[in-house]
Amino acid sequence: MKKIAFLLFFMVFCVEAQEKDTLSVKNVTASIELYKYYNLKKDTIQIDTSLTIQDEYRYNYLRKDTYGLLPFANEGYLYTQLDFSKKKSVILPQFGFQAKHITYLEADDINYYSVPTPYTDIYFKTVMRQGQSLDALLSVNTKRNLNFTIANKSIRSIGDYYNNLTSSGHFRFSSSYYTLNKKYYLNAHFAGQDIFNQENGGISNLTQFEIENPAFTQRERLDVYFNDASSKLKGNRFFIDHFYKFREVNSLVFKHQFSYENKFYEFIQNTPVARLGVATTQLINNKTRFNALYNKFGVSFLTKKLGELQFFIDQYATNTFYNTSNVFTPIASLPSNLRNTIVTLGGQYEFYRAKWRFVVLAQNGLSSKPTSNFEVTATYKIDQYNAITISGQQTSKIPDNTYVLSQSSYQNFNWYNSFANEKISKLNFEAKTKWLNISGQYSLLTDHLYFYNTQERIDSLMVKPFQYGKTIQYYAVEIAKEIKYKKFALDNRIKFQQVTQEDAILNVPKFIIRNTFYYTNAVFKKAMLLQMGVTCNYFTKYYADDYVPVIGEFFVQKTTKIGDFPLLDFFVNARVKQTRIYLKAEHINALFGKNDYYNAPNYPYRDFKIRFGLEWNFFK
């Protein structure tokens, strides 16, 4: 970390930052509009160095708006998902350990750049205790049609509570290329990620946290469940996406996508604890390995008037495995691996005409394990300020591997199951207007998979996977509106959620609210743009899922509700040329309110903190 910090500060002094509108390098002037990046969906985004309220929302470890996510006490650790509508439906079986994947960068999260001159983006933010969070990116076009980008995001934070250190690294290298005749295009990347967390299992005596005792204001003094447990999620991915088209329009297009990824999740504990049940070894060292190979071949016909019609076939082969095969009672035998080979055949039609955009996708499994996915999206763009989107999706999803197979030195966490596919139907509506933004979702879930603690006690965890054979209906409506008056603004966002079910399986807060009142003004003869304000986040009480680190998953619980407390943050931000400066006092009402704020039944939310950070953009 010290070497990386030194390199970054060296770059700060070596790179000459220019004005916002134009960037000059060796007598060559490049407009800021030419600096762009895009994702696999070909959504192109212009690099923006301005300072808006959205930059304030995105200034966090995930570097995206975390509305609907509640971060745990230590930075980069876990997030409680308040907003169920943001959960993605993937038809292919995943590795599992989903709670640990919130900070893991998937293939869709990698961006590809096009810059006329070398571009550098640096993110820095202080953490809870003894460490820092850093994300640095350097992008260079060696030629107009060839780009190389290297980036690394890392964090180290001891945290306020005992045995809760976070230490992670996310290295990315990406490249994009196209031939000068613009017939062949290539995007490729490598991602190496290492997410390490000490796991304390939460505080074991809630009274120590909730009472006003000065001895426990130093949070490391609070008793926790695990004193020597840790987890690690590590993965490497090689990815290629390329296509060739014979002509610019009215042409055949051949497409290919390839991905190879290997991962492992490891839970280590030097001393077994009774809370997790009977252990068969004195040293707990559970390690689950996972390999995934994906190939997709497609051919499409691209026309100017009728859009693009594509047919494709893909193969997804995975292997989840352990080094040994354990034998426990009452389970007679557990296999040492779980293999999946899934072949699907599909078609997609995209149509763009005037203000309309239609996308239809149909995909169905050909292998012995059936799976299917049908999606329809229609967008009507009235003008640059107003647009309406309606979409629907119906998915039959193969269970993730952690639901099917688990091996552990703790007897309670061993299973080998055969579950039916999860069936998920969604209908979404979104209207973006100059007056307000409104969106809604209706979801119907059948054969929903979940984890549940059969002991129904916080101090005893016997978490097992279950399948809910009855239907679950989920409704959500979200409204967002920003009101501006001169140099003042009030940004509002509210979400209403409702679940209809016979048993309390899917639990969400009914309301999620965020209000930000802020002031923006140019000061010091307009050399600095100043932004200051206060944000209030709130959600109603509900039975939030708890967390078990042995399998890196959240599980359903019906004993303790959390929520119904405000989170007040005061911030002062500034922009000088391409540098954005952030200063925030987080959760200021913790100084005078009750200690009743939790992420999960025994995981407290963050205390009051003052944190500082910077975002630098350099165009050389």
Could you read off the pLDDT of 381-436 as tens digits, one per residue? 999 889 999 999 999 999 999 999 999 999 999 999 999 999 999 999 999 999 99
With the CA atoms of 496, 435, 66 and 191 taken in that order, what torsion angle do they form, in degrees rounded to the nearest 10?
A: 130
**39 pLDDT higher than 70:** yes
Higher-pLDDT residue of 191, 328? 191
Among 336, 327, 215, 229, CA closest to 272: 229
Q: How many residues does the chain have?
A: 620
Run of H or E residues at 618: strand 609-619
* pLDDT-based confidence at residue 492 (cuts at 50, 70, 90): very high
Contact by Cβ (8 Å): 178, 152: no
| One-letter identity of residue 556 | V
**Domain ranges (residues) in the chain:** 2-619
Question: Is cis: bond before 566, omega within 30 of 0?
Answer: no
Whole-angstrom Cα distance, residue 379 to residue 387?
7
C-alpha 313, offset from chain centre: 28
Whole-angstrom Cα distance, residue 495 to residue 432?
16
- What is the per-residue burial (b if ≥16 Cβ within 10 Å, else e) of 243-276? bebeeeeeeebebebebebebbbbbebeebbebb
- At residue 611's C-alpha, the angle toward residues 607 and 615, to 5°, is 145
**3-state SS assignment for residue 275:** helix
**328 pLDDT higher than 90:** no
Average pLDDT in the 98-122 region?
Answer: 95
Burial class (CB in 10 A: 0-12, 13-18, 19+), 353: exposed
What pLDDT sits at residue 368? 78
What pLDDT sits at residue 88? 81
What share of the chain in percent tops pLDDT 70? 94
Could you read off the pLDDT of 41-72 as tens digits, one per residue? 888 899 989 999 999 999 999 999 999 999 99
Could you read off the pLDDT of 151-195 as tens digits, one per residue? 999 999 999 999 999 999 999 999 999 999 999 999 999 999 999
Strand order in the sheet with 44-46: 44-46, 36-38, 112-114
Whole-angstrom Cα distance, residue 612 to residue 609?
10
Average pLDDT in the 8-24 region?
Answer: 37
Domain 2-619, architecture per CATH: Beta Barrel (2.40)
Q: Where are the alpha helices (DSSP H) in 383-477?
A: 401-404
Could you read off the pLDDT of 542-580 as tens digits, one per residue? 999 999 999 999 999 999 999 999 999 999 999 999 999
Could you read off the pLDDT of 186-217 as tens digits, one per residue? 999 999 999 999 999 999 999 999 998 888 99
* pLDDT-based confidence at residue 380 (cuts at 50, 70, 90): very high
* pLDDT-based confidence at residue 581 (cuts at 50, 70, 90): very high
Could you read off the pLDDT of 446-471 as tens digits, one per residue? 999 999 999 999 999 999 999 999 99
What pLDDT sits at residue 304? 85
**In DSSP terms, which residues pair with 346 in a beta bridge?**
312, 363
What does pLDDT average to over the chain? 92
Would you say the pTM of this structure is higher than 0.85?
Answer: yes
Contact by Cβ (8 Å): 604, 204: no
CA dihedral over 4, 6, 9, 10, signed as positive or negative = negative
- At residue 295's C-alpha, the angle toward residues 374 and 420, to 5°, is 45
Run of H or E residues at 482: strand 472-485
**236 pLDDT higher than 50:** yes
